[in-house]
């Protein structure tokens, strides 16, 4: 079981008084061990993917005889929740429990869907960029203000 700093200090103090047992050593190792750094950059907790179902659907609406096309991007937890990491000023962990969608026009070009921090609600919300510049992509991948958890959709 992993413990935070305060709880670990308290437990070590108890061990000093009462002596070491295997369970104390295991708890200490579990709390202090750091897995090797992973070069994966998806931002998702599960290596090689996510614990969510990601889909997009083309929609159409007719306005004054002109058909307008749109895309509805959906991300849904596979079981109870899906989770991802975001690097802003520090690495932070986020959980989503409900289906989230974002809609945008089905224009030709590159579409990037990503999570961004909303300063008003203090939540991660889906955002969209159409035909991002090279600098936009660098900011998405390496930036402080946006999550590396993004999905690029081909035109």
CA distance 38 to 9: 28
pTM: 0.60
Q: Domain locations in the chain? A: 1-34, 52-153
pLDDT digits (tens, 9 = 90+) for 102-145: 999 999 999 999 888 888 988 889 999 999 998 888 887 765 44
One digit per residue, pLDDT tens: the chain, 155 residues?
566 777 777 888 888 888 887 787 777 777 776 655 554 455 666 665 678 888 999 999 898 888 889 999 999 998 888 888 776 666 778 889 999 999 999 999 999 998 888 889 888 899 999 999 988 888 877 654 444 455 555 54
Under DSSP, is residue 78 helix (H, G, I), strand (E, B) or coil?
A: coil
8 Å CB contact between 83 and 95: yes
Task: Outline where DSSP puts E strands in 40-90.
Answer: 52-63, 66-77, 82-87
CA distance 117 to 145: 7
């Amino acid at each position: 079981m992993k413990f935070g700093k305060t709880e670990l200090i308290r437990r070590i103090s108890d061990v000093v008084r009462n002596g070491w047992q295997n369970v104390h050593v295991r708890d200490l190792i579990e709390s202090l061990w750091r897995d090797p750094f992973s070069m994966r950059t998806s931002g998702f907790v599960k290596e090689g993917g996510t614990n969510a179902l990601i889909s997009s659907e083309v929609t159409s609406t007719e306005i004054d005889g002109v058909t307008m096309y749109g895309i509805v991007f959906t991300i849904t937890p596979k079981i109870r929740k899906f989770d991802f990491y975001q690097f802003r000023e520090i690495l932070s962990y986020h959980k989503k429990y409900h289906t989230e969608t974002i809609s945008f026009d089905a224009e030709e070009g590159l579409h990037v869907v990503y999570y961004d921090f909303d300063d008003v609600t203090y939540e991660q919300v889906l955002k969209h960029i159409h035909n991002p510049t090279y600098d936009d992509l660098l900011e998405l991948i390496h930036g402080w203000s946006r999550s590396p958890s993004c999905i690029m959709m081909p035109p």
